[in-house]
Amino acid sequence: MDELPIGRRVAYWRGRRKMSQQVFADRLGKSKSWVDKVERGVRRLDKFSVVYEIADVLQVDVQLLLGKDVERRPDSINCIDQVEVEEIRQALERYDQMSAFFQPAPQCPPLPEMRKAVSHAWLTFQHAKYGVLARTLPKLLRDAQAADTAHSQGEDARDAAHLLGQVYQIASSALRKLGEHELSWLAADRSIAVSQRAGDQLLAGIASYRVGSALLALGRARPSLEVNVNIANRIAPGHDMGTPERLSVYGMLLLNGAMAAARIGDSATVRDLVCGAEEAARALGGDFNHYWTCFGPTNVQLHRAAAAVELGDGRTAIETHEQIDQEGFAALLPERRAHHYLDIARGYTQIGDVEKASEMLLEGDRLAPSEIRCRPLAHEVLSDVLRRTRGTPAAPIAELAEHMGVGV
């Protein structure tokens, strides 16, 4: 994007922030006509003060607008910056398989080495190390794509496709957390296609879960509900209740469907889907991480609380939270637990208890800082807490707000 005129860069980032020209103009104190002329290159941006103001409104580094390399800031070490987003985008936009028709397949790491790298990436995500993951994802995507292309006709074809499908899912999950929902959807959709080539129904099933999550993040709750329920019905365990892996993927699809149903206010469907997931969790007999799902009885309870929050029933969410088995909760990976604290913080704001909401945010931050400091949703919750706080906020929450750049 460096070679684009500055007006085109402004238009690009305005589109990424989902602002209309009118909204953008209003925030700048300019006319829509002025914005249109800047983006078309008819009007020059020759004042640095205006460029800085535009960068501030678009929430990007001014160097990106000027087409220069951005120096990564120390305070972004646990999060993702625009440079990393663009690197991941470029990796997702590669079409190595098509290129292989015209030239030799690219060099790639050995598959055993790739398996280790993919497992490490999953654990990095589940420990909520999003900044670390963002810096490794572009290379991991390129390596997995190259491996899939290099082994497309050999006996290792399914293994290579399986690894690429997993990497797309890791990318989708991380991008969704960080607010890059369109890219998250693209990566999840890619994973479905690759999973079919891998010949693994459950990998395709959990890829559908990622698609459903991305659709929900994009505000497309009904399509999210449909894709989760449809695929869950296709892989539903039989009378023997199936394998632990099948139970895990099936259960997570039902839980994701419940979250979509909650978003549209369908409490009856939420209840049915959570009950179905609860039955699968009982059959599973504990909390496991098959297909990187962290599925089991404890995760069902976490989703029950999260669905209550989505339905606007903060009190039920808190009651559910208080009944969660503490031993099972402590055994979950940091991302799951910190995510839950964020959900319960939202529940406490719904009943007007900003002090307890603050405690939940701080607990999540102590456990997995990136889950709180890097997620747009957490910024919204913290802003809500600060707005509702009477007088000066407590020192720990004020310090967290300062770290996150949220105005007190």
CB within 8 A of 48, min separation 6: which ones? none
User: Is the pLDDT confidence value at 213 over 50?
Assistant: yes
Per-residue model confidence (pLDDT) at position 153:
81
Got the DSSP string for 22-46? Answer: HHHHHHHT--HHHHHHHHHTSS---
pLDDT band at residue 240 using 50, 70 and 90 as cut-offs: low
**CATH 1.25.40.10 region(s) of the chain?**
114-127+153-404
**For residue 5, what pLDDT band results from cuts at 50, 70 and 90?**
confident
Among 182, 176, 236, CA closest to 205: 236
Which of 104, 91, 175, 150 is closest to 376 using CA atoms?
Answer: 175
Q: Which of the listed CATH numbers 1.10.260.40, 3.30.230.10, 3.20.20.210, 3.40.50.300 matches domain 6-65?
A: 1.10.260.40
Grouping H, G, I as helix, E, B as strand and the rest as coil, residue 103 is coil
How many CB atoms are closer than 10 A to CB 64?
21
Mean per-residue pLDDT, 278-302: 97
3-state DSSP call for residue 355?
helix
pLDDT of residue 306: 98
What is the spatial distance between Cα 196 and Cα 73, in angstroms, rounded to a whole number? 40
- The dihedrals phi and psi of 88, each to the nearest 5 degrees, come to -65, -40
For 169-201, write each residue's pLDDT tens digit. 999 999 999 889 999 999 999 999 999 899 999
| Radius of gyration for the chain, computed over Cα atoms and rounded to the nearest angstrom | 22
> Could you give the residue range(s) of every CATH 1.10.260.40 domain in the chain?
6-65
pLDDT at 103: 53
Asked if pLDDT for residue 327 goes beyond 60, the answer is yes
The predicted-structure confidence for 81-97, as pLDDT tens digits, reads as follows 677 788 888 888 776 55
The first and second tokens of residue 77, run together, are 């070490």
Contact (CB, 8 A) for 207 and 192? yes
Smallest CA-to-CA distance from 310 within 263, 359, 378, 365 is with: 263
CATH homologous superfamily of 114-127+153-404 equals Tetratricopeptide repeat domain (1.25.40.10)
CA–CA gap between residue 363 and residue 194 (Å, rounded): 38
Least confident of 91-105, 152-166, 205-219, 358-372: 91-105
Share of the chain above pLDDT 70, in %: 92
Summarize the confidence of residues 109-124 as an average pLDDT.
Answer: 94
CA distances 249 to 18, 68, 92, 208, 261, Å, are: 33, 44, 25, 10, 18
Cα–Cα distance, 360 to 220 (Å, whole number):
28
**Confidence check: pLDDT of 99 > 80:** no
Coil, strand or helix: which one is 81? coil
Reported confidence tier of residue 340, pLDDT bands at 50, 70, 90: very high
Phi, psi (deg, nearest 5) at residue 242:
75, -175
CA distances from 336 to 190, 327, 363 (A): 25, 14, 13
Q: What is the pLDDT of residue 355?
A: 95
Greatest mean pLDDT range, 79-83, 106-110, 182-186, 256-260: 256-260
Tokens for 55? Answer: 């960068």
Contacts of 146 (CB under 8 A, 6+ apart): 96, 105, 106, 107, 108
